Chain A
Amino acid sequence: MDHLDGNVLAGPITGFFDFEPTTAQGQCQSCADIAALGQAMVYGQPMGFVARCGNCDNVLIVIVERAGQKSLNMRGLRWLRVADPVEQNRI
């Protein structure tokens, strides 16, 4: 299956967090690679969004959207790091 880039996660992640998710940095639990979520490879549409590590294919995040609810599982991320938007705006 053709995969998409992590950029596509911006829409479905809206509502879980109040930061822009695709520029957030995350570390893969499996291979320790650090990358922006926008760099992940996204499979599984339209059943859901399965974001995999661009380095080792490990599943980082799964999002399933359905009428009235959506679920987010961050099974393969060791951590997620975002820039403080207030600090960013000061630059």
Chain B
Amino acid sequence: MAVFGGRRREDNPALPPGQHLTESFPVLSAGPTPSMDTADWEFFIHTETGKTHRWNWGQFLALPSADITVDIHCVTSWSKLGTSWRGVSLDTLFAEVETGFDFVMAHSYGGYTTNLPLEEILDGKAWIAYEYEGAELDPEHGGPARLLVPHLYFWKSAKWVRGLTMQREDNPGFWEEYGYNLHGDPWREERYS
């Protein structure tokens, strides 16, 4: 009798529970890939006072950037180790932002949303990435720029990100509204709520 094993779940300390390794880069999105010209692109951070901080593509690229090598973990159970990115730290983008709220809602071109606690995207934990493996970020992987929050499940790393809106409560984003975890820590297997 043949026994179904599923994907090999290897005993690798870099793998969170229930994850398997992949060499490819599977594409998952809740909608079509928006066609985005960097001439029309902007990134914003909107706060509770009504103030909106904005960067166009040129201003964004002029910010100090960092090379980032991280492991990424998709809730659908694949993990990819040692991926390399280039992007702007959220610490840089939040340098001039004053807010008393503890949560953000990330908004994407195309309408996708995902919620995050502010403390999970500061202190060197998150970036707006615009290069992957040394090349400009492919549209199907979120180009021109995506959120990169590698220590949470990858649906939190919103593709085609266009801005962050501060929020008082941790209101759910797109997948979170339908039962995915508000927080999404792969090491605690926070897949569903």
Instruction: Show the binding face of A for B, using Cβ within 8 Å.
Output: 1-3, 41, 43-48, 50, 52, 57, 59, 62, 64, 66, 71, 73
Of B155, B179, B192, most A-chain CB atoms within 10 Å: B179
Partner of B29, one of A1, A46, A59: A1
Question: Is B60's beta carbon under 8 Å from chain A?
Answer: no
> A50 touches which one: B27, B30, B191 (CB < 8 A)?
B30
B4 interface hit (Cβ, 8 Å): no
Picked from A41, A47, A52, the residue with its CB within 8 Å of the CB of B28 is: A47
**CA–CA, A22 to B43, complex, Å?**
39
B31 within 8 A of A: yes
Q: Which residues of B are at the interface with A, using a C-beta cutoff of 8 A? A: 27-33, 75-76, 111, 140, 155, 175, 177-180, 191-192
B179 touches A66 (CB 8 A): yes
The 6 listed contacts between A and B (C-beta, < 8 Å) are A47-B180, A64-B178, A64-B179, A64-B180, A71-B179, A73-B178
Extra pairs beyond A43-B29, A62-B178, A73-B177 (18, CB < 8 Å): A1-B27, A1-B29, A1-B32, A3-B32, A41-B32, A43-B32, A44-B29, A44-B31, A46-B28, A46-B76, A47-B30, A47-B75, A48-B178, A50-B30, A57-B32, A59-B30, A64-B179, A66-B191
Contacts of A3 in B (CB 8 A): 32
Q: Which residues of A contact B111 (CB under 8 A)?
A: 59
